[in-house]
Structure 1
Amino acid sequence: MRTILRYLPLLVGAVLLAAALGALVPRPLWPVAMAQGRVTRRILVLKNPIHTDIAIALDDGIRRRFAFLADAGLPVVASEARYIVFGWGGRAFYLETPTWSRLKAMPVLKALTLDASVMHVDVAGAVKEPHPDVASFDIDEAHFSALLDYIAASFRNGPVVIDNAGYSTYDRFYEANGQFNALVGCNTWTAAALRAAGLRTGWWNPLPISLGWSLRLYN
C-alpha cells in the first residue's frame, strides 16, 4: 500500500499530462477543407460535466435517414420535436444512472474497466443558443453525410432497441458497436464523429472540457 501511495501522484500526473497533450495536439494535424460556398448544415455539440452529445436539426431528410429509429419507437414525428440528439456510452452507467442521486458502484466500476456500449437517442425541442453548454458548427453537405453515416454505423444490427430503458417518453436506448471504458468513452466517440464531419479535435479527448478546448482551438 505504501508503494502504491508513493506512485499514485505520478500516475495522476501522467494521466493529466496525457489529457492536456491530447487536447493540444490536433487530429487531423492539418485542417480539412470544406466545399466553398456549400457550408449549409449546422450541428450542435451538447455537454454536461462528463458527457457530450451531438444534436442535429430534424427535417424530412433526417427523418427518412433515421426511419429505422422511428420504426423502433422513437417519436421523431412529435410536433414539438426540433432536434435528434445522439450519444454513445457505457451500457451499465447509461442505463442505471438516470440521475446523479441514483449513482451506484457497479456501473462506475464497469465504466472504469470495460463495458458493453449503447446508443442513446433523444428527441428534443428548441435548444437555447448561445449557451455555455452548447457549441455550434457549420459544415458542408458531404461532411454532413459522412457524419450521419458514422452515427448510423454505431448502431448494432440496425438497430436493436433495449426494452424498458429510457429516461422519458422521448428517448430510447439501442445496442451499439464497440466496447466502452473511461479512456475510450463517450467523448472520444463524439470527437470521432466530429472528425467525420470535417472538424478537428484533440488527439485524445476523454472529457468534455478537453474536447471543448480543442474544438475552440482548431475550428
Structure 2
Amino acid sequence: MKKLGRFLGLLLIVVALAATMGALVPRPLWRSAAATPAAARHILVLKNPIHTDIAIPVDDAVRQRFRFLVDAGIPADSPEVRYIVFGWGGRAFYLETPTWSELKAVPVMKALTIDASVMHVDVAGDIAESRPDVAGFDIGEEHFTALLDFIDASFQQGPKGPILVPDAAYSRFDGFYEAKGHFNALVGCNIWTAAALRTAGLRTGWWNPLPVSLGLSMRLYN
C-alpha cells in the first residue's frame, strides 16, 4: 500500500508538472502581426473547476446556421438570447452529472479512461464579463467564421443533421447532441475548447487539461 501511495503521489506530481508546462509553452509558438486582424467579434470562455464552454454572440446569421437547435426546442431564436453556449465532453459524465451532488462512480471511471462524446448546447442572455469564471476575447470576422465551422464540425451528422440525444437536458433551455471523437482524461473537454480557440486565431498552452491551465495560457498569450 505504501508503494501504491508513493506511485500515485508521484503520478499526481508528474501530471501537475505536465499541465503547468503545457500552459507555459504557447501553441502556436509565435504569431505574426498579419495573423491578428482588426477585431470584429467578441466571444466568451466560461469555466467551472473542471470544464470550459465557448459562448458565441448571436446575430441573424448565427441563429440561421444553428437553426436545428430551435427545431429541437432550444430557444436560440428568442429575442432575449444574447449567446449560444457550446461545450464538448464525455457522454456518461455530461449526461449523468448535472450537479456535483449527483456524481457517480461509473461516469467518473469512463471519464478517466475512454468514453463517447457529446456536444452540450445552452443559451444565455447578457453575461457579466466581470465575473471570475468569464473571460472575453476579440477575434476577426474570418476567425469567427472558422470558429463556427469548428463547432459545427464537432457534431455527429445523421440523415437530418445533428443527432439529438433524446430526453437529455439540464433544463428546458439546453440539450445534448452526439459528437465526434472520444473523451478521456488526456483529451478532454478543455482540450476541445483550446483547439476551438486556436482555430479562432488565439493562442493557448500546448496542453491544457484543466480550466486553470487554459485560463493561464490565455492570459499570457492573448
Q: Shorter chain as normaliser: what TM range? A: over 0.9
Q: 1:179 aligns to what?
A: 182
Q: 1:47 aligns to what?
A: 47
Match of 1:170 among 167, 173, 186: 173
Q: What is the number of equivalent residue pairs in this alignment?
A: 217
Secondary structure in 2 matching 1:94: helix
Counterpart residue type for residue 42 of structure 2:
R
Q: 2:194 aligns to what?
A: 191
Q: Judge conservation of contact 1:69–1:159 (CA < 8 Å) in 2.
A: no
Task: Kindly report which structure 2 residues correspond to 1:66-215, keeping only aligned pairs within 5 A, or say none.
Answer: 66-157=66-157, 158-215=161-218
Assess, with a 3 A threshold, how the Cα gap between structure 1 residues 169 and 22 changes in structure 2: closer, same or farther.
same
Displacement of 1:2: 4.0
Over the residues paired in the alignment, what is the CA RMSD in angstroms? 1.1
**Mean CA deviation greater in 4-13 or 45-54:** 4-13
Displacement of 1:7: 2.2
Q: Judge conservation of contact 1:55–1:84 (CA < 8 Å) in 2.
A: yes
Q: For residues 14-43 of structure 1, give each alpha carbon's deviation from its aligned partner in whole angstroms, at most 9, with x where no partner exists.
A: 1111001000000010125122xx311000
Q: 2:36 aligns to what?
A: 34
Q: Which runs of 5+ in 2 are unaligned?
A: none
Q: 1:216 aligns to what?
A: 219
Q: Judge conservation of contact 1:53–1:190 (CA < 8 Å) in 2.
A: yes
Identity %: 70
Give the TM-score normalised by the residue count of structure 2: 0.94
Q: For residues 89-145 of structure 1, give each alpha carbon's deviation from its aligned partner in whole angstroms, at most 9, with x where no partner exists.
A: 000110001111111111111101110000000011110121111100000011111
Q: For residues 64-84 of structure 1, give each alpha carbon's deviation from its aligned partner in whole angstroms, at most 9, with x where no partner exists.
A: 111222223321112321110
Q: Which runs of 5+ in 1 are unaligned?
A: none
Secondary structure in 1 matching 2:137: strand
CA distance in 2, matches of 1:48, 1:3: 34
Counterpart residue type for residue 86 of structure 2:
F
Q: Judge conservation of contact 1:187–1:207 (CA < 8 Å) in 2.
A: yes
Q: 1:56 aligns to what?
A: 56
Name segments (4+ residues, structure 1) moved above 3 Å. Answer: none
